[in-house]
Each structure stands twice: as structure tokens, then as C-alpha cells.
Amino acid sequence: KNQVEQSPQSLIILEGKNCTLQCNYTVSPFSNLRWYKQDTGRGPVSLTIMTFSENTKSNGRYTATLDADTKQSSLHITASQLSDSASYICVVSPFGNEKLTFGTGTRLTIIP
Amino acid sequence: KAGVTQTPRYLIKTRGQQVTLSCSPISGHRSVSWYQQTPGQGLQFLFEYFSETQRNKGNFPGRFSGRQFSNSRSEMNVSTLELGDSALYLCASSLALLDSHTEAFFGQGTRLTVV
């Protein structure tokens, strides 16, 4: 069964600190892995999209890594800001006619 | 460039009724996908439409259906509503199918409450 697990479920850090969110998946074979940021009450916004052949991709202060051998991905946030407070969702898209598989997300809270 | 528009934003329905939600994708986008988001289950994929054809479907009962029109606008219908259908329903549009590497843009969602 295709699964995507994220950890931690929630995280609280001080403004200006760095943090790393984890995503482990069992989807195979997969086409791409995406990280989304979702603010409360709003739709998700894409941060990165990585294919199975990519190891790292950055979007400003967000850097995603992918290890297709161990089926793990991480999202690293540098110099956190209050606006980074949100849920971060990992999504794996398999090849062919298979449904997308979502992680349950990590709720990140940045405190001043 | 206008984003993805979902209407209505909020909806309250009674058990047993049916509901239709609408999604207008970004101009030029041909793929529209629908998702249900609840606190307990998180985001779950409902279905994806491309060029008026359903291309992919999640694990939801037949009460959940959808369609896509020639202008790529899409509607989702839920019949015989149950309390458990209360959720945020999101749609996303993209240039190509989701198993490509195309970026998907989400709307703000429709908050459905079934009482």
C-alpha cells in the first residue's frame, strides 16, 4: 500500500532558527515528489517539485532533498520567519494511473 | 494572471441533500484535480480531469462525481450527503497531468458543512 509519512507532526522553533522536516514514502515507482506549504484556511502552495533523479532543489530559504534509494525526503528551512508558520505537506505522485499520496503534514509554528 | 477560483467559499447542507462545487482553473490549464481535506485524514485525492476526461480517481464512493467542460472548468458533485462529508474541498489546476512534473496551483477551497 502506498504511504507517505511525515515527521514530526508538529514543531515549534524560534524566529531565525533553522529546521528540517522529514518525509518517508513507500510509493514505487514514483514520478515526482512535491512539498507544499499551507497557511490556515488557504489552499496549498507549491514549494518544490523533484523527480526521482534529482537530489536537491531550492526555493529561496527552502531546500528539499531526495534520496530515492532510501525513499526519504527532507525540507530544510533556513533563518525561519514568522510567515513560515504553516503546515508543510509532502506529496508523492506515482507513475501511470495511480492516485496521488499525501502525507498528513507537519504543523510548524515560529515564535518571536 | 488570475488564479484558481472556487465557488462557493462556504456551504451548509443537510444530510441527504446533494451539492455541486465549481472550480475555474488558470487560463490555459487543462488539468483540474479535486481533493478532500479533513483534520483526521488530511488531504485525499478525489479525481483528476484532463480535456474533459477523468484520468485518475481516488478511493471515494460513487456519491462523489465530477466533470470537466470544454473550457476546462470543472464541477464536483456529492450526492446523498453524510455528516462525514464535512470538509474543505480543494481543486488544483495544472498545464499537464499530475504524473508529469508540472506545477499544480490550488484554489482557496470550498468549506462544506453537513448538518
Cell match 470544454: residue? Answer: B70
- The pLDDT tens digits of the residues spanning B99-113 come to 777 888 999 999 999
CB B50 within 8 A of CB B25: no
> Which chain A residue shows the shortest CA-CA distance from B42?
A104
Read off the DSSP letter of residue B85.
G
Read off the DSSP letter of residue A95.
S
pLDDT at B1 over 70: no
Q: Which of residues 24-83 of A touch B (CB under 8 A)?
A: 31-32, 34, 36, 42-46, 49, 51
pLDDT mean across residues, chain A: 92
Task: Find chain B residues with C-beta within 8 A of A100's C-beta.
Answer: 33, 45, 58, 98
A71 φψ region: left (φ > 0), alpha (ψ -120 to 50), beta (else) = left
- The pLDDT tens digits of the residues spanning A16-47 come to 999 999 999 998 777 889 999 999 888 999 99
pLDDT at A97 over 60: no
CA dist B103 and B83 (Å) reads 33
Residue from A93, A104, A107 to probe the interface with B (highest B Cβ count within 10 Å): A93
Q: If pLDDT is split at 50, 70 and 90, which confidence band does A86 have?
A: very high
Predicted pLDDT of residue A100: 76
Cell match 470543472: residue? Answer: B74
pLDDT at A2 over 90: no
